[in-house]
Structure 1
Amino acid sequence: MIQVKNKIKIISILITLFILTINQVVECKSSLYYSILNDYEKGIDYYKILNVTKDSTYSEIKKSFRKLSLKHHPDRNVEKSSHSLYILLNQAHSVLTTDETRKEYDELLVNGIPWHENYYGKYAYRYTGISHDLRHVLLGLIIVITIGKFVYQYNKHHSMIKRAKQTDQYKKRLAQLDGDEDEIQLVIQGADKPTISSLFIIQLFFIFPFKILKSIYTFIFINKFKFIQKTDEEKEEEYRLKMGYTKEDWEYHKKKSIERMEKLKQSGKYKKYLRSKNK
């Protein structure tokens, strides 16, 4: 029953955090924004539509809009092309007479469509009317996963500690220490206490890239040298260092080894071994 209550609490906390995070980090874009992107892709220039330039003032834009809108108004001009142009005129006027949207539009003309809008955002308004910046959505999800993982690990760690303290082994050890719990350090495998390094966002952006770079470095530089063919002298020197011999001791043992080998070759057993091997 206690575990069920804890799970309900965790789920409630995660839902609340998710809503708060999305509200804070996700920037909503209106359908107008994505409509502008689609017009830009079609090669439509709002300045040219209104017969003005980028340096035109707001009053000049409004004056040109009034003149063109009267000309192409559906009540005065029944042609289908005029109706479409009238809609574009209204949109161009709406964009270019507002400081924020005009600034965004000018940036669009200079820099083009942002990479994060290329596949996700520019078609979204056709289906939903409102979309979000993909970068903010990903950041929000990472934050939610980080918090959720931390809460889960923290809850699991403390529940396992609580269970461990109820065991006879712990109580017996506690009695031996006269009830001093600070002297007992509980280490529970699989339920470690969450730390900064165990946070998902830290692992994703720091620890994981570090491990990848370390693996690449190991593969390129360290393993590369392992595959290099060593000479007999280099192998002998490596073995000497590994065994911890000084050069004098090594030469002495080497000399003795050669003498033993020569003596062995002169023995009857060795000659008998060679004859049996050659048969």
Structure 2
Amino acid sequence: MIRMSRTGRDGATTYYRAEKRHSDAGFLINCTPCGMYPDDESIPVRLSRFGALVGVVDVIYNPLRTRLVRAALKAGIPAEGGLYMLVSQAVAAYELFTGKKADGGLTDRIYAELMGSLENIVLIGMPSSGKTTVGKYIAKKTGREFTDTDRVIVKNAGKDIKTIFAESGEAAFREIETETIRSLSCGNTGKVIATGGGAVLNVLNIERLKRNGRVYWLDRPLAALMPTSDRPVTSDRESLARTFHFRYPKYKAYCDVRISARKNVPTTAEKVIAEFVKHSSPSSGDRADRTRGEGK
């Protein structure tokens, strides 16, 4: 076992030396606060330097998935954040202080309940795919707070999106969008978040949303989508089709779950709710799925 630290004090090796001398390590466990909210953009090591890893654990539980965990999952390496360990410690403390033995499934049940209450439900998809209306339905049905990134942008800017595009251009709007998503995803849990259709154009947006969220793609066929006059890139049928075909592979690649949005709002919303409940169930086996690499 090799201990790493920034300074290399007390017999530890530095991160730099570890990357050079111990690239054959099989497991990596982060026991530092590096990557913890509010500094959740940090990552302690470059996983690309450790080519033999078969498992990564980060004891941090806020965010639910740190940059380190997300990087491992993207690389196909099984990884887990610190929430399960936190719950296990609580159960062990209960047994120690009460002298009573907790039943075997208590840790899994508490973990699943916490994940179900803390994890955000994130909606992505084309303009007019129903993200806002479906999101509001889900929020009302589940008692969660609903947030629409486009509406936050409009409120903060004091002008609509069409005006932002006209005055500052799309690149400026995308910068505002990325900063808005960073703000909403950083430290916020238990919400329903509807994103703008172009949020997938910057992979950093998805990475941030996935740290505390499960991403659902509302996949509505092109024929069922409507041009939106307040969205410059989808204001007519031609631009709508062009945008649809360009973004489709990104929605497919970045989502955790694809939800067919062919039918009405309640039907689509209930599909999302049902999948999320199953995903959060301790008996679904989905915790194991979360720790395995994404393969995306």
Q: Give the structure with the larger strand fraction.
A: 2
TM-score calculated relative to the size of structure 1: 0.20
Q: Give the structure with the larger helix fraction.
A: 1
Larger radius of gyration: 1
TM-score calculated relative to the size of structure 2: 0.19
